[in-house]
Structure 1
Amino acid sequence: MITFFRKLRKKFIGGGNVRKYLLYAVGEIMLVVVGILIALQVNNWNEDRKAKILETEVLKELSSDMQQDILSLENDVALNKRFINSILIIKKALNSDQAYHDSLGAHFATINFNTTYTMKISGYENLKSIGLQVITEDQIRKAITDLYGSVYSFLKETEEAAELAMNGHFSPKYISHFKSIRTRSGMSARRNLYTPVDFEALKEDVEFSLLLDYNRSIKEENLFNLGRTLPQIKDTKTMIDDYLNSTN
């Protein structure tokens, strides 16, 4: 092909057709320019396609992580409600002429625990290592950074505060009212049983009643914080899923 163009150029020049040669030369330059532009366009298209694939992979991982977080935190909601229910059962028993029995021992044991929140952040760590700019939608990028940077951090802080309240104040005083802690195997799991030193004396113990109220306030605070966090996770996940569905 190059040989052909050289022969054609010599023909134009040798025949004195300078004007035709100039037109030919301009045309040749235009073809080269167009070729370069097409190559650049193809390269840009390939880069955009790779970026879009990477964005999709990152968002799918984040959506999957958020789904696991939703399930985990919804389980924490159920546990805190269970703790509160046990407190109410204990309070009702203490305000009646009911005698102690092992089912109460299970409730006494249940409330001496607090939920811990386990959020999956591998997808967000991956996003940070790649670069936040891989997410092209500003609203989605902001929602994700707010969720992991602020909402999750605050929830972990509330968890630590609840743990401190339970381990530093509630448990040491609470456990002193029990003479034995044993385990009983049930149909689905092993359960702890707390046996009071004097169950009847607990009915008149104002401090113990206040301890139960204190524990309940911790669990209600847990529910409040979980109730604020879960909708934000769900909203962010929905935003991501809607975007993925619209672009695929």
Structure 2
Amino acid sequence: MIKFFRKIRQKLLSKNKVSSYVLYAVGEIVLVVIGILIALAINDWNEKRKGLLTKNTLLRAIEIEFTQNLEQLDTVLKYDNLVVQSSFEFLQIRPDDSVADSTAYLRQLLQNTSWTWTFDPQNGALQSGISSGEINLISDEILTNMLFSWKDLVADAREDELRALNTRMEAKSVIEKHVRNVDYRSTDRTELGSSKFTSDYMGLMLDPLFEDYISDRYSRTLDAVNELNSVRATNLKILELVREELSSEN
């Protein structure tokens, strides 16, 4: 092709056809420019295609992570809500109530208030997307902002979870003064059997420090539940926006 154009140039010059040569030269320049533009367009298309593949890979990984996080969060909320409900029930019992004499009922309530689940989300894909800058390929600004703020949102909820957890740790000595640990733990660990020592549930109920513990346990776990419900709402919204972003590219 290059030899073909060279022959044409030489032929025009040999015949001293300057105007024709100029016209030919302009045409050749136009062809070169068109070729460059086509090459740039192809390169741009390839870059956009690679960017789309990278973005979709990231979005699918984030979708998997946040689906698993939602499942874990629902489990944590299930047990935290059980703590809140059982703590409230404890606070409603008076020494002269008939249920105060029900060892099985009190044992179950005590077991329910002892759960200490925490939310530990998976953030591998998200952190990788942030550190690599691939997260900026996501076109939805709302989704991007939510992903950037996810870590802080979880950290805020973790503070309430730790406060609720601390109430459980602080009350250990109060509970053990009246009730054997194995006595109520055996409700979900039946292989432990019953304690060799007698538990005094009525003594526990009459201990003002236990009432303080249960009221703190109720209040702080409820705070944690409220924060985790906010985290859950954000998790759901992120999943919704991720799926919309994926479907918009198909």
Distance 1:125 1:160 in 2: 24
Greater CA deviation, 193-202 or 14-23? Answer: 193-202
Letter in 2 for 1:122: G
Q: 2: distance between equivalents of 1:190 and 1:198? A: 20
2:143 aligned partner, one-letter code: I
Runs of 5+ consecutive residues of structure 2 not aligned to the other structure: none
1:54-95 deviation digits (Å, cap 9, x = unpaired): 111112211221111111111111111222333355454855
What does residue 127 of structure 1 align with? 129
- Mapping of 1:94-109 within 5 angstroms? 94-98=95-99, 99-102=101-104, 104-109=106-111
How many correspondences in the alignment?
244
Question: So what's the TM-score if we normalise by structure 1?
Answer: 0.86
Percent identity between the two aligned chains: 22
Equivalent residues in 2 for 1:11-22, closer than 5 Å: 11-22=11-22
Return 25-34 or 105-114, whichever deviates more. 105-114
Partner-residue secondary structure (3-state), 1:114:
coil
Instruction: Give TM-score, length-normalised by structure 2.
Output: 0.85
Deviates more, 1:102-111 or 1:121-130: 102-111
* 8 A contact 2:83–2:112 mirrored in 1: yes
Worse-superposed segment, 115-124 or 207-216: 207-216
Show the counterpart of 1:25.
25
Q: Is the 8 A contact 2:103 2:201 kept in 1?
A: no
C-alpha contact (below 8 Å) 2:143/2:242 kept by paired residues? yes
The change in CA–CA distance for 1:191 and 1:67 in structure 2 (over 3 A counts) is: farther
For 1:155-214, what per-residue CA distance to the aligned partner results, in whole angstroms no more than 9, with x for missing partners? 2222222223322x222322322135155487xx64877886322333433332332222
How many angstroms apart in 2 are the aligned matches of 1:82 and 1:191?
Answer: 23
Aligned pair 1:86/2:89, yes or no?
Answer: no
Q: CA RMSD in A?
A: 2.6
Q: Return the offset for 1:49.
A: 1.0
SS at match of 1:219: helix
What letter corresponds to residue 37 of structure 1 in structure 2?
L
Aligned-partner Cα distance in 2 for 1:82–1:95: 25
Residue number in structure 1 paired with 2:139: 136
| Residue identity in the other structure for 1:41 | A
Structure 1 residues 89 and 165, CA, compared in 2 at 3 Å: closer, same or farther? closer
| Residue of structure 2 equivalent to 1:231 | 233
> Which residue identity lines up with residue 180 of structure 2 in the other structure?
K
2:173 is matched with: 172
For the structure 1 residues 95 and 16, does the alpha-carbon distance in structure 2 shift closer, same or farther, using more than 3 Å as the test? farther
In structure 1, the residue corresponding to 2:98 is in which secondary structure? coil
Residues 87/196 of structure 1: CA separation in 2 closer, same or farther (3 Å cut)? farther
Cross-structure match for 1:222:
224
Structure 1: gaps spanning 5 or more residues: none
SS where residue 239 of structure 1 aligns? helix
Q: Helix, strand or coil: the match of 2:171? A: helix
**What secondary structure sits across from 1:178 in the alignment?**
coil
Amino acid at match of 2:206: E
Distance 1:43 1:245 in 2: 25
Q: Which amino acid aligns with 1:239?
A: L
The answer to whether the 8 A contact 2:76-2:119 is kept is: yes
Q: Distance in 1 between matches of 2:164 and 2:144?
A: 31
Query: Structure 1 pair 77/179, CA: closer, same or farther in 2 (3 Å)?
Result: closer
Note if contact 1:58-1:123 (Cα within 8 Å) is conserved in structure 2.
Answer: yes
